[in-house]
Structure 1
Amino acid sequence: MAQEIELKLAVPDDALAQLAAWLDANGESKGEVTLLNVYLDTPERDLARARAALRLRRKGAQWLQTLKTAGQSQGGLASRHEWETEVDGEAIELQTLPDEARALLAPLADRLAPVFRTDFVRRLWIVQHDGARIEAGLDCGTITAPATQAQERIQELELEWLSGDENRAADVLHGLGARLQAVAPLTPSDLSKAARGYRLAGVDNA
């Protein structure tokens, strides 16, 4: 099980160009990738009530399944548990998950179905800041909830902790965030893509 630590910042339209230019100049560009994602839950929204999110992601020819469990988010900084494994196609494969994740999903497996989608292009950079290695991902796309015919834009920057002194992760991420906020008018966001998707689908307690 990995622990994901990231700072999420909302990006207005007029900030995209200067933000990308700063990252090009101060980070190592890793190109861009199109990510197509479907989130699943039971009709009773058992995962949403447990503050968990289950996702199938297509990344090029590769399919990944990811389970994220309840974490904390404040001032845009989130810390949560995450399990991710490769699968053969657009279907959950419980046997490839570790015991803790499988125990949560097994009782729900026969009732899981798509609830919403998040599809976006991610531009990536690796940034060295204050002794740490951080991945900056600029995401632009849409969240769609077919049941309510609702759609919402994705335009955000995720600063994900990769390596360094983890005890200083929050301070370092906030430090880089403050540096970027001096470059462009970014604002912290505490809502994950999954929480926004559930909200569009009419689930308030995600």
Structure 2
Amino acid sequence: MATELELKLMLQSEYLKSASDFLDEICAQSDDDTVSRQPTLNLMNAYYDTEDGQLMSGGMALRIRAVNDQFIQTVKTRGTSRVGMHARGEWEWQLESDCLDLSLLKEVPLPDDLVAMTWSRQLQQAYRTDFQRQVWLIQQGDTKMEVVCDQGKVTSPYGEDSICELELELKNGPEAALYEFALRIAECVPVQVSVVSKAQKGVRLKQGEIEFPQKPVGSVSRLALAAYWYEVWLIYWEAMFFMQDEVLLQPFRHTIHQLRPCLPAHLDHALVDLDNALGELYKADEDKVLELLAGLKSVGSLMLKIGQWLNQQSH
């Protein structure tokens, strides 16, 4: 079992080349032969669940990946939240064919609701992802990470959604290095932090609704409120592009006002500046609002800086 710690960045397809060029340049500048771009992969993942989504509800994803005529069965568990980063348990097995082998799950500490495995007789393919993956192996000082760029789509009987994202996965070194490198990317390419996984995109196609975190109740710390509003903020941004609806800019900006009192002065001031810029942009031609938003580097940079601060406070 491996624990996967990654930071996911969304971007629009017109900026993929800029991201690729930036990462290629990082590799070209390095004297280390291990810092390199790897061969491009074409991946298909079939995700399985019950009709009523017992695995997703229980905090588990089960898939078979096909790559280069090889089949890999993977289980991922929900793991712990790192404020904008994903930390999950992950188990993988090579298979002889594209058929699930549920006997392998005895190695996995299943979530309590799934231990009895009564769900196993009701499994069906819920959705699939097809995408092209570019991979870069990056080393910055003592930190090693894998950066992947995925472009493709999620499909199910209920529709489809696009995949266009960068994932920074920490292989060795401090967690802070993921944010530091992501900020370097954000200086050159308009990227934004995403907390929506490919599996969640597949489930969303069926449910037809945006999933938000549960709001803290009672007497909670300012940090807990900051983490909550930060995640809501990220979700509204991603939802705006998923639904192709600039009207969601209004709740996105409303969330800024909820988040501001929870943050230190320098981040509060930066949010004020961003909100003012968004207010001016909203006066633009309605048909161009999403296009203009997608090109704002300041949004992603500030998302990363706030996420970085939140993670520093939680350690």
Superposed pair shares fold, TM > 0.5: yes
Which residue number corresponds to residue 187 of structure 1? 192
Q: Specify the alignment match of 2:154 in structure 1.
A: 143
How far residue 107 of structure 1 moved from its aligned partner, in angstroms, is 3.0
Q: Quick one: which amino acid aligns to residue 189 of structure 1?
A: S
Distance in structure 2 (CA, Å) of the matches to 1:72 and 1:120: 27
Query: What is the distance in 2 between the residues matched to 1:154 and 1:56?
Result: 18
Query: In the alignment, what sits opposite 2:169?
Result: 160
Task: Give the direction of change, closer, same or farther, for the CA distance of 1:93–1:198 in structure 2 (3 Å limit).
Answer: same
Q: Could you tell me which of 170, 174, 183 is aligned with 1:178?
A: 183
2:195 counterpart SS class: coil
Output aligned runs, 1:6-85, within 5 Å: 6-27=6-27, 28-73=36-81, 76-85=84-93
Secondary structure of the equivalent of 1:44?
coil
Matched-pair contact (CA < 8 Å) for 2:91–2:108? no
Give the Cα separation in 2 of the matches to 1:83 and 1:61. 20
Q: Which has the larger radius of gyration?
A: 2
Counterpart residue identity of residue 92, structure 2: E
- Partners of 1:21 and 1:105 lie apart in 2 by 49
Letter in 1 for 2:195: D
Between the aligned partners of 2:20 and 2:131, the Cα distance in structure 1 is 16
Looking at structure 1, the residues matched to 124 and 19 of structure 2 have their Cα atoms a distance apart, in angstroms, of 37
Secondary structure of the residue that 2:190 maps to in structure 1?
coil
Select the residue among 114, 118, 135 that pairs with 2:129.
118
* Stretch of structure 1 that moved more, 172-181 or 124-133: 124-133
Residue ranges of structure 1 left out of the alignment (5+ in a row): none
| The structure with more helix, counted as a fraction of residues | 2
Q: Residues 137 and 48 from structure 1, CA distance in 2 versus in 1: closer, same or farther, beyond 3 angstroms?
A: same
Q: Kindly state the Cα deviation for residue 135 of structure 1 after the two structures are TM-superposed.
A: 0.5
**AA in 1 matched with 2:147:** A
- Is 1:3–1:79's contact at 8 Å kept on the other side of the alignment? yes
Greater relative CO, 1 or 2 (CA 8 Å, sep 6+): 1
- Equivalence for 1:5: 5
**Aligned partner of 1:129: which letter?**
Q
Which of the pair is proportionally richer in strand?
1
TM-score by length of 1: 0.89
1:196 aligns with 2:174: no
The runs of at least 4 aligned residues of structure 1 exceeding 6 Å deviation read: none
Shift of 1:74: 5.4
Taking the aligned partners of 1:156 and 1:75, their CA distance within structure 2 comes to 18
Distance 1:160 1:190 in 2: 14
Shift of 1:94: 2.2
Shift in Å, 1:13: 2.5
- Tell me, yes or no, if the aligned pair for 1:130 and 1:172 is still in contact at 8 Å: no
Q: 1:120 Cα deviation (Å)?
A: 0.1
Say if 1:203 and 1:69 are closer, same or farther in 2 by CA, change over 3 A. farther
The one-letter amino acid paired with 1:107 is T
SS at match of 2:188: coil
Aligned-residue offset at 1:72: 3.7
Q: Quick one: distance in 1 between partners of 2:50 and 2:86? A: 25
Q: Number of paired residues?
A: 200
Give the 3-state SS of the residue equivalent to 2:121 in structure 1: helix
